[in-house]
């Protein structure tokens, strides 16, 4: 094999160096490939999406037009040539809309509101009860309750928590005009269930059957929290609310009685006569109502 000399040797060393650079291990902390920043706050930058070796912020991914490498957003005002990263634009007062055409605007061309300056120094944010910012871009006025002002960050946090199905005016519960104005002013309203509905085991208590005897006097020798699957000491739940229960004998229910209602759900405060299994045919009065026998 002939030795490599001259220009060929220099080209070989250069290509080997290039391979070493490209083969370096990537940084342990993933960054967004569009804005080159770390995950950060999901309320400001959106979810941090990762697939294979590609990582992006959700808000950076849905930009309207990409003009330059690394600057994924440009102002949509005619003849405006400003380009910016999403986090940088938020710090400078730029605005991105998360509906329709997903337009973005620089701080000079962004949508504005006619906020009375006198209100800013006198009122506080309805959501956090702290003083309003003197910078108008940090405050948002309600369209339905015109005298009400909020911090932008408070409204965004509220929208991120309540999401589309529960987002409404905190003052008058307006579900039409209020969300539309917040979208126009750059508030992102996720199209998903509310945050409290996505928590693990959020509704686990709904799958637990009530297991307690609420009769005025419990006759079962093993106590109110114990019962049998069948017979005199089986537990019957209220047919209306399901949140109250009784042993059959404790409310003198017949063995074939299928419906029982607690005192709160019974249609009449007066009791009814029941025939207990061990009464010898003598009817007794109960403070609980049975809707059927």
pLDDT at 184: 96
Domain ranges of the chain: 42-105, 124-197, 209-265
24-50 CB burial, b ≥16 within 10 A, e <16: eeeeeeebbebbeeebeeeebbbebee
Contacts of 52 (CB under 8 A, 6+ apart): none
Per-residue pLDDT of the chain (293 residues; tens, 9 = 90+): 455 555 555 655 655 555 554 454 555 778 888 777 888 888 877 888 888 888 888 777 665 444 445 677 878 888 877 778 888 888 888 999 999 999 999 989 999 988 766 555 567 898 999 988 776 788 999 999 878 899 999 999 999 999 999 999 999 999 999 999 999 999 999 999 888 888 787 777 777 888 899 999 999 989 999 999 888 899 999 988 888 999 998 988 888 887 888 888 887 655 444 444 433 343 444 444 444 44
Cβ atoms 163, 135 nearer than 8 A: no
pLDDT at 24: 47
Closest CA to 32 of 15, 47, 20, 16: 47
Instruction: Name the 3-class secondary structure at 140.
Output: strand
Which pTM value belongs to this model?
Answer: 0.55
Eight-class DSSP state of 60: H
* Phi, psi dihedral angles at 119 (to 5 degrees): -75, -30
Which residues are bridge partners to 150 per DSSP?
Answer: 140
In order of 95, 130, 153, 175, the CA distances from 112 in angstroms are: 10, 22, 16, 21
pLDDT at 70: 66
Is-same-fold flag (42-105; 209-265)? yes
Specify the length of the chain in residues: 293
Q: Residue 116 class from Cβ within 10 Å (0-12 exposed, 13-18 middle, 19+ buried)?
A: exposed
Separation between Cα atoms, residue 272 and residue 293, nearest integer Å: 11
Element (H, E) at 9: helix 6-22
Separation between Cα atoms, residue 202 and residue 270, nearest integer Å: 39
Separation between Cα atoms, residue 75 and residue 200, nearest integer Å: 40
pLDDT at 105: 94
* Phi, psi dihedral angles at 68 (to 5 degrees): -130, 160
Separation between Cα atoms, residue 99 and residue 91, nearest integer Å: 21
Closest CA to 186 of 71, 109, 72, 103: 103
Q: Please give the CATH number for the structural domain made up of 209-265.
A: 3.30.40.10
* Predicted confidence (pLDDT) per residue in 36-84, tens digit: 788 888 887 788 888 888 888 877 766 544 444 567 787 888 887 777 8
pLDDT at 161: 92
State both tokens at 10.
Answer: 């220099």
Contacts of 211 (CB under 8 A, 6+ apart): 225, 227, 235, 245
Return the CATH class of domain 42-105.
Answer: alpha beta
State the Cα torsion 214-220-221-225 to the nearest 10°. -40
State both tokens at 225.
Answer: 């929290």
- Both ends of the chain: CA-CA distance in Å? 103
């Amino acid at each position: 094999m002939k030795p490599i000399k001259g220009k060929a040797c220099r080209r070989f060393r250069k290509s080997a160096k290039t391979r070493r650079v490209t083969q370096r291990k990537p940084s342990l902390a993933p960054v967004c490939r569009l804005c080159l920043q770390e995950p950060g706050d999901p309320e400001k930058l959106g979810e941090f999406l990762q697939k294979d070796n590609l990582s992006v912020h959700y808000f950076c991914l849905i930009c309207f037009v990409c003009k330059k490498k690394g600057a994924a957003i440009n102002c949509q005002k005619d003849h405006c040539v400003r380009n910016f990263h999403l986090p940088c634009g938020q710090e400078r007062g730029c605005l991105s809309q998360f509906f329709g055409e997903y337009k973005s605007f620089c701080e000079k061309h962004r949508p504005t509101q006619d906020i009375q300056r006198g209100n800013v120094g006198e009122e506080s944010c309805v959501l956090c009860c702290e003083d309003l910012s003197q910078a108008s871009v940090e405050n948002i006025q309600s369209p339905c309750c015109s005298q009400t002002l909020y911090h932008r960050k408070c409204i965004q946090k509220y929208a991120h928590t309540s999401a589309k199905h529960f987002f409404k005016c905190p003052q008058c519960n307006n579900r039409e005009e209020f969300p539309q104005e917040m979208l126009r002013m750059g508030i992102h309203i996720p199209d998903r269930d509310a945050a409290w509905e996505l928590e693990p085991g959020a509704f686990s208590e709904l799958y637990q059957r009530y297991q307690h005897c609420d009769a005025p006097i419990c006759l079962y020798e093993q106590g109110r929290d114990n019962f049998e699957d069948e017979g005199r000491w089986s537990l019957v739940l209220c047919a209306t609310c399901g949140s109250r229960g009784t042993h059959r004998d404790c409310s003198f229910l017949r063995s074939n009685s299928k419906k029982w209602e607690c005192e709160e759900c019974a249609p009449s405060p007066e009791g009814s006569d029941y025939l207990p299994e061990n009464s010898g045919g003598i009817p007794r009065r109960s403070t609980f109502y049975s809707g059927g026998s």
